[in-house]
Structure 1
Amino acid sequence: MSEASNCKASFTPEETVDLSGEKGWVPFAASALVGESLKFVSGDPHGNRFRIRYYRDEHKQLQARIWFGPETEGPPDNAHGGSIAAVFDEVLGLAAWAAGYSIVVGNLNVSFRKLLPIRHIVTLETEVVSVVGRKVTVRGRIRNGETVYAEGEALCITIPEKTK
């Protein structure tokens, strides 16, 4: 038996995933705002790692619908903590950009509350909570209904404008 035949069966990228937003949410074109820099997390809308669709709610806060695919697995049938942290990094940073701040994430804290099952759709809600000088603080939580899987906070630093 070859080494390749001992591997787990691969998953089809054709798995149907409905990332529709809630009533009142407006689709948000993240790549139009920040360009191609979103490749690591949300770069493959049909892949087996992540599938993400962005929205703005009625308060103009960024919301994300996310499917954690089989390639994010850590504990059996659950998302790896690193995959959750990567999603927080992208989404919280993007929330600052969507609020008008050109930033990089300087510090990211994630608190894991419950195992997040793979192949389920969750929502990451964001809120820009403070702006002090060049520091922009953004908070978020990954949830499905009343269940909170993780909470995160990013300290973002605005990028100084380049002088010519």
Structure 2
Amino acid sequence: MSESVDDGRNYTHWDANQAEATGKWAENRRLAAAMRRVIEHLVRSDASEEELRTAADGLERYAERLERHPRRNRPAGFAESANAGDVGAFFDFSPQIGLCNPLAPPIELWAKEDQVYGNVNFGSAYEGPPGCVHGGAIAAAFDEVLGFAQSITGRPGMTGTLVVKYRQPTPLRTDLRFEARVARSTGRKNFVEGRLCAGELLCAEAEGIFVSIGRERFQQLAEAQARREQVSG
């Protein structure tokens, strides 16, 4: 990877609910919210075979319509988007925080001074053990939260390592709180730590190392992705 770029950027806040969404952007959010509802109810519903068939027929028809439209190519997380230029334009499609992405819980994130905070409520689609959040979903969320924390240093990087320690089962459909901060920075590396709590209960802790890359290397990755998209059609 190339040397890091210290360009003085400092990303302290991305509040998706406060960002003004109009036109196509607003409709994308609306569609994603509807899909999120479908996913939530599908994994919990005991609907009849006929009802499921009707729903599947409708969704298959609409999937075919969407497939006829051009694909969007853009990075979607804090660590990646921090090197992409127009940062805010990417966040709403993140699989963790994006209101335009039906896979996102979504997590609400903000920063105060050098500390990052987040709120999330994982629905039924993220279930692992009965009534609890899947460990993989927690790890993915930590990757985004810690990525946000290291991006506000002005020397953002991509995930090098991520270690999660699960202290207690994390409850589903419960308001949860993330906290994260950069413990130290050495050369191209940001060392970040975070925690996830349900009220006063410590559910999980995480440590991550994020390695800075320059815009040139990031652009190479984006161009490689574009070539793969062209080949796959």
Percent of aligned pairs sharing the same letter: 32
**Residue in 2 aligned with 1:130?**
184
* Cross-structure match for 2:206: 152
Partner secondary structure for residue 162 of structure 1: helix
Partner of 2:110: 55
Asked if residue 40 in structure 1 is aligned to residue 111 in structure 2, the reply is no
C-alpha contact 1:137 1:154 (8 A) present in aligned 2 = yes
Q: Which runs of 5+ in 1 are unaligned?
A: 1-6, 11-29
Greater RCO, CA 8 A, separation 6+: 2
Q: Does 1:9 align with 2:45?
A: yes
Q: Distance in 1 between matches of 2:158 and 2:214?
A: 11
How well do the aligned residues superpose, as a CA RMSD in angstroms? 2.7
Listed as ranges, the matches of 1:99-118 within 5 Å are 99-118=153-172
Deviation at 1:98, TM superposition (A): 2.0
Instruction: Name the SS for the 1:148 alignment partner.
Output: strand
| Structure 1: distance between partners of 2:212 and 2:101 | 32
Greater C-alpha Rg: 2
Q: Which moved more, 1:143-152 or 1:47-56?
A: 47-56
In the alignment, is the contact (CA less than 8 A) between 1:122 and 1:144 conserved in 2? yes
Structure 2 CA distance for partners of 1:141 and 1:91, relative to 1, 3 Å: same
2:105–2:121 Cα contact (<8 Å) kept: yes
Output one character per residue of 1:101-125: Cα deviation in whole Å (capped at 9) or x when no partner: 2210100000000001111111110
Amino acid at match of 2:96: V
Letter in 2 for 1:130: R
The number of aligned residues is: 138
Higher strand share: 1
